């Protein structure tokens, strides 16, 4: 299975909820599962779940916009969390990733990670 923007657009809701293994308070949807599985990015769900567990500023936001943007040149990326009003509350440099897309956006709302199209 290949991760594509078109593939992500097919998710407009979820049939199944997944509970995150490291932070049991976090759920994620079919669309987030697709990103993790097709993009080899379970680590991305881990980053979001762990930030929600250990970062006070992240945990304080009921609605979060998570953006992963690949850096060029190189194989690094920048992961950021915004509060929904374009205010960055958390950032982390990822030294290496083979994530297949130049960028992806996930939302975390009420403890559930989802694609924007699933909202």
Would you say residue 114 lies in a domain? Answer: no
* 8: its two tokens: 């992500």
**Structural domain harbouring 61:** 16-105
pLDDT tens column, 56-103: 999 999 999 999 999 977 899 999 999 999 999 999 999 999 999 999
In a domain, 112, yes or no: no
Task: State the Cα–Cα distance between residues 60 and 90, nearest whole angstrom.
Answer: 12
Rg (CA), the chain: 13
Number of domains in the chain: 1
Residue 119 within a domain? no
- Residue 48: closest CA among 105, 116, 118: 105
pTM of the model: 0.95
Is 4 contained in some domain?
no
- Backbone angles phi and psi of 21, in degrees to 5: -75, -30
Residue 1 inside a domain? The answer is no
Is residue 118 pLDDT above 90, yes or no? yes
| DSSP conformational letter for 83 | -
């Amino acid at each position: 299975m290949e991760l594509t923007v078109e593939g992500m657009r097919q998710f407009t809701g979820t049939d199944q909820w997944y509970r995150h293994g490291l932070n049991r308070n976090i759920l994620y949807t079919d669309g987030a599962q697709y990103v993790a599985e097709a993009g080899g990015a379970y680590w991305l769900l881990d980053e979001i779940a762990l930030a929600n567990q250990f970062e006070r500023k992240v945990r304080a936001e009921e609605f979060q916009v998570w953006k992963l943007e690949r850096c060029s040149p190189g194989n690094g990326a920048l992961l950021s969390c915004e509060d929904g009003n374009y205010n960055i509350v958390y950032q982390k440099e990822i030294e290496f990733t083979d994530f297949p897309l130049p960028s992806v956006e996930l939302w975390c709302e009420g403890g559930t990670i989802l694609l924007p199209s699933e909202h």
